[in-house]
Chain A
Amino acid sequence: MATNNKYDRQLRLWGAKGQKALGETTVILIRASAAGTETLKNLVLPGVGRIIVLDDVSSSQNISDSNFFVPSTPLKPRAQVALELLQELNPDVSGSFEHVNSLADYDYQSLFANTVNPLVVAADLEYPLMMHVSKIAGAKNIPLIVVHSYGLMGSLRLQSPPIPVIDPKPDNTTPDLRLVTPFQALEDYCNAVDLEALDDKEHGHVPYPVILHQLAKKWKQGHDGKLPSNFKEKEEFRVSIKNAARKVDMEVNFMEAVDNSYLAYTERTVDKDHIKNLLEKASGKFAVMLQALLEFLESHNGAAPLHGALPDMTASTQAYVQLQTQYREKAKIDVEELLSYCSDSPEITEEDVQCLAQNAATLDLVKVRSLADEFENSPTADIVEGLESATFDPYEVAEHTPLLWYCGLRACHNFYQQYGRYPGTCVDKDWQKDVSLLQACISKIVNDLQLGQSDLLQQTILSSDNKFAEELTRYANAEIHTIASIIGGVASQEAVKLITGQYIPINNTYIFNGIASVGGVYEV
């Protein structure tokens, strides 16, 4: 083997820093249902520090054949079996279990208070327990992920204190070449290149930022100190680049300059007001870093810290490395300055500040609505607006739009609230009598969400054929392993984002429609 590190493939996604954060986290699972154990499996495998499994199903009640980590062995309580089979996946992970008489009566306050760096996963909890747990987690500012597998439907809900977005790792970024307002060293370096004096080979290996700098300068001289600003001028500017080439079809660096000409007149900026806005809502490390950024912006007349990376481009090694050095050194100076503004907070490292500088233009703070607000209070105007616009962008087969099934699942919770059981589960044979009862719950939920007038809903979930109510009643809260696995996969991925502080988490609900294999994210 080329390496002994079993985490190699994931370190390429979140690095040593992310891995460390994982190793310092304890995940508490409330109910070892399939969705719960699958979520945990995907956190144990990458090396979460510790897991705690809580469950109230005793050994004799182990009847499900849809949980890979709870085979029907009549000797141990479900919490114990699940813990053992999960922990066995990765010797790096420590764990414990608690078999309780009733999950509803358990003292979550103490457990949460006594756990360091907790993240809670609540799996397939019935409505009253789900609300109870979410309120305690919310009060203690503990991130919570609520998962449900419900027949062919799956849902995942994130509840968390405000989430800083500081390391989104986007797939594509615009290079920060700083050609509009070049720093002195860059200006000096570009000016020193005498294109005319270079031989043909060197001419064809000048990195394109230098070409753009020189041609923008020439343009400004002929246009009253201004850069290209409309379509015609931008086109003319591109032509001037082509004309500056000696053999325009052969000099790849000039072609790259043409393709990237926009970088001569557009530049990455940081919106000071946006940062101020974030600072009002932020706390802890993030707040300190935002403050440092503001101080930087003040002292540089609004200019953002330099990203520092130079993308690969056609150039001689020497020219490329020299240019790259200009960017690297300036970025380093900016990072040092930012770090000096954080001197009162020693926990903020150079790596933290470098991340701040590189992502200064896309910083954000995601506020997540609580479950209490979602289930017990009326939706805000913003929430309603968001849901309404979702109704104008339905799936191609309208009835499979995940938002509709969100309403359906909400109705199932509502049904449980009223009748103490899920639709389709009952002692006598006539399970279909629940259909009309569930339909009434659907109407209520839709009205609560102020979506009753929507064409989409009227034509589907509110129509008299009661298809949604029939299908959901059919499920009887069925635990289908594939759906539990899908939800467990998405839930664990979101957990990793919260734990590592990298990538961008959802806000706040993911619905998976397993009939048509369609997913959707909604803020509710």
Chain B
Amino acid sequence: MTKRKVIDMATECLSEGDPMEVDSHQRGSLLTLLSRPSPFASETGALPMGIFEPLTSLNDQTKVWEVEPLKSAKVLVVGAGGLGCELLKDLAMSGITSIEVIDLDTIDVTNLNRQFLFRQKDVGSSKAKVAADFINNRCPWMKVIAHHGMIQDKPPSFYASFNCIISGLDNIEARRWLNATVCGLVTFDEDGDPDPSTIIPLIDGGTEGFSGQVRVILPRITSCFECSLDAFPPQRSFPLCTIAETPRRPEHCIAYASILLWPKEFPDKKLDTDSPDDMKWVYEKALERANEYEISGVTYMLTMGVIKNIIPAVASTNAIVAAACVNEAIKLLTFCSQTLNTYMMYMGSSGVYSHTFVYERKSNCPVSSSAVREMKVNRGKSLNQLMQELKDGDLRLKSPSITTGNGKTLYMQKPPALEKATRPNLDKALSNLIDSGEELTVTDPVLESISLTLQVTFD
């Protein structure tokens, strides 16, 4: 057979044999991987998800989105920004047709250098909706459903309806909430083992400049996002005395204009970081202050960077991290290969450094461990002081509510009537409210439905 004839056959794409065959002038595809056995299939790895069974009932017209489990798989993409756009593309190109995407944001012109499903004409529109429409148009086999809104507005049953959740969020609080929600879906049998059908894999991606990370979270099996909370130190702002009295850097002057001057000048109006007029006002005031102190370097660009806490972002890093996330999703849904165990860090500014390692579970993680936390306190400490510790300490709660083991409410943030009723407890000494060694149940919006048990003893 001449080379020409072989190419002609390939051209017609209708080689009549088994679709496991790949003609010598064609390339294999995802279907090839799904229909041929592998010595590295899922069951051979450190995180076995299932036993790989190569597909046999394919014909030469089969499309990757027509085969199980891809056909019936439902995937949720959280975030439709830099990572989200890439995630949607990668999932569409990998045969996942049923996707839902959620985002609360609208499109800004500064998104266009990387959020490639959006165009100039889309500025101001809903990210989730525009992204879904673009994918559905470019890839007619796709059924992407958009949700414009907050992830916290969806009930746990929403999240439970997916086979896999991939998050491309840009802030820690939302990640904590999502992590707690997905981990909170897991139920346990009478032996205390997690019911596998309630374990929904959560794949979390993040990027910043030339760096990023991918992690696989199998709730109750691997470490979760909360286990790694101390790897993200709380954001430090400039000391107030520096801003008010001894500015030295242009950033201090900008902070002065936005934190001290703005509320004085516009007591009833919150600074709108998307308004060019508001930003211009801050910039000019910052410049005035800088000139007063002979500090150089205040620019409009720096002003935006400081006020909006801008993180530099490019297409390439988002492409890498998102694709690595979807790669994991496909492998764990189809069992055709092993799963990332569990965390890959990527740094691309100086050469390319990637580090893949197992992120170990934290033994007293409030989300992934059921361990009781022990706390020793001074008997005179007030409930309010205890709560402040829960916020400022390593638990980093936002607005905790506390009840005792036998159902007595110490303080409840909501509803307003209950908050008012329990408010007097805040100033009371703990020793007046509970006994030493008593177990308290703490809940917090950042941990959704997860409650943590605190055993308080007095010293």
Chain A interface residues toward B at CB < 8 A: 1-13, 34, 38, 41-42, 45-47, 58, 60-61, 63-68, 71, 89-91, 124, 151-152, 168-171, 205, 312-313, 315-317, 320-321, 324, 395-397, 420-422, 424-429, 431, 465, 467, 470-471, 474-483, 485-486, 488-490, 492-494, 496, 503-507, 510, 514-521
Contact = CB atoms under 8 A, between A and B. Distances in A.
B64 interface: yes
B24 A425 contact: yes
Contacts of B356: 395-396, 516-519
Nearest to A71: B138
Nearest to B325: A482
Nearest to B64: A65
Given A151-B33, A424-B28, A493-B316, A521 B351 contact: yes
A45 B116 CA distance: 7
A321 to B, nearest CB: 5
Nearest to A514: B327
B354 A151 contact: no
A488 B210 CA distance: 14
A46 B27 contact: no
Nearest to B36: A474
A68 B36 contact: no
Given A482-B90, A486-B320, A8 B33 contact: no
6 contacts: A3-B301, A65-B95, A71-B138, A205-B246, A396-B357, A510-B352
Contacts of B38: 470-471, 474
B86 interface: yes
A152 B352 CA distance: 19
A480 B89 CA distance: 13
> Which of B89, B94, B315, B337 gathers the greatest number of chain A CB atoms within 10 Å?
B315
A293 B43 CA distance: 59
A100 to B, nearest CB: 15
A58 B350 CA distance: 40
Given A317-B248, A519-B346, A521-B351, A489 B109 contact: no
Contacts of A170: 350
Contacts of A492: 315-316, 319
B221 interface: no
A524 B219 CA distance: 41
B46 interface: yes
A504 B312 contact: no
A486 B123 CA distance: 28
A483 B323 contact: yes
B172 interface: no
Contacts of B29: 64-66, 478-480
Given A5-B109, A68-B89, A492-B315, A517 B327 contact: yes
Contacts of B30: 66, 478, 480-481
A46 B318 CA distance: 13
Contact of B305 (A12, A42, A490): A12
Contacts of B110: 1, 3, 5-6, 8-9
Chief secondary structure at chain A's binding surface? loop
B237 interface: no
Contact of A517 (B294, B318, B319, B324): B324
A183 B107 CA distance: 52
B86 A475 contact: no
Nearest to A67: B93
B279 A10 contact: no
Q: Which 4 A-B pairs have the closest CB atoms?
A: A478-B28, A476-B28, A489-B319, A485-B323
B210 A13 contact: yes
Contact of A2 (B21, B276, B316, B352): B276
* Interface residue tally on B, bucketed by range: 35 or more
Contact of A485 (B37, B39, B322): B322
A10 B313 contact: yes
B326 to A, nearest CB: 5
B26 A2 contact: no
A67 B139 CA distance: 11
Nearest to A323: B248
B357 to A, nearest CB: 7
A421 B21 CA distance: 14
Chief secondary structure at chain B's binding surface? loop
B128 interface: no
Interface stretch (B10-18, B153-161, B228-236, B371-379): B10-18
A64 B337 contact: no
A194 B13 CA distance: 86
Contacts of A505: 351
B315 A481 contact: no
B304 A3 contact: yes
A517 B344 contact: yes
B391 to A, nearest CB: 25
Interface string B77-120: 00000000010011011110000000000001111111010001
A9 B304 contact: no
Given A6-B113, A13-B314, A478-B33, A488 B319 contact: yes
B188 interface: no
Interface in B115-144: 116, 120, 123, 138-139
Contacts of A507: 351
Given A9-B314, A12-B305, A474-B38, A506 B319 contact: no
B268 interface: no
A66 B210 contact: no
Interface in B306-341: 308, 310-320, 322-324, 326-328, 330, 337-338, 340-341
A186 B316 CA distance: 44
B24 A312 contact: no
Contacts of B405: none
Contact of B348 (A465, A477, A490): A490
B28 A151 contact: yes
B386 to A, nearest CB: 28
Contacts of B13: 61, 63
Contact of A481 (B21, B90, B108): B90
Interface in B281-304: 293-295, 300-301, 304
A420 B139 CA distance: 34
B350 A519 contact: no
Interface in B1-53: 1, 6, 10-13, 17-18, 20-30, 32-33, 36-40, 45-46
B246 A316 contact: yes
B21 A426 contact: yes
Given A170-B350, A471-B39, A482-B323, A10 B248 contact: no
B197 interface: no
A477 B24 CA distance: 10
B209 to A, nearest CB: 6
Contacts of A171: 349-350
B277 to A, nearest CB: 10
Contacts of A481: 30, 90, 93-94, 323
A312 B274 CA distance: 29
Given A2-B279, A152-B327, A493-B317, 4 more contacts: A65-B95, A321-B295, A426-B23, A428-B21
Contacts of A2: 273-276, 279, 304, 308
Contacts of B420: none
B366 interface: no
A65 to B, nearest CB: 6
A323 to B, nearest CB: 10
